[in-house]
Amino acid sequence: MHELSLALEVCRLAGEAGARQGGGTIRAVGVEVGDDAGIEVANFRFCLEALLAEPPFYEARADLVPARGDVLRLLYVEIDDGHPDD
């Protein structure tokens, strides 16, 4: 079940991105998943959503974007910094 270890790594990277932005609440994590990446997408989604439901993410949304090839890439991390002007 390597999908769990991949989801853990995505969460680690998202947490680092949040820390670089000075904190705030992570609202969404976008991941590009290739059709030839060797990943069971439903299982990966389940693992990622389970991890994002826990602190420090607090119900962040997992957006999986289908792609061609063997790509697995963190596309974006949406962070709410608490400023209403964003």
What structural domains does the chain harbor?
2-80 (3.30.2320.50)
pLDDT of residue 36: 95
What number is the average pLDDT over the span 57-73? 94
56 preceded by a cis bond (ω within 30 of 0)? yes
Burial profile 1-36: b = 16 or more Cβ within 10 angstroms, e = fewer? eebeebbeebbeebeebbeeeeeeebebbbbbbbee
Judge contact between 75 and 20, C-beta under 8 A: no
- Cα–Cα distances in angstroms (integers) from residue 72 to residues 13, 32, 49, in the given order: 13, 6, 17
Q: What is the pLDDT of residues 1-60, one digit of tens each?
A: 589 999 999 999 999 988 887 777 899 999 999 999 999 999 999 999 999 999 888 889
pLDDT at 75: 96
pLDDT of residue 86: 53
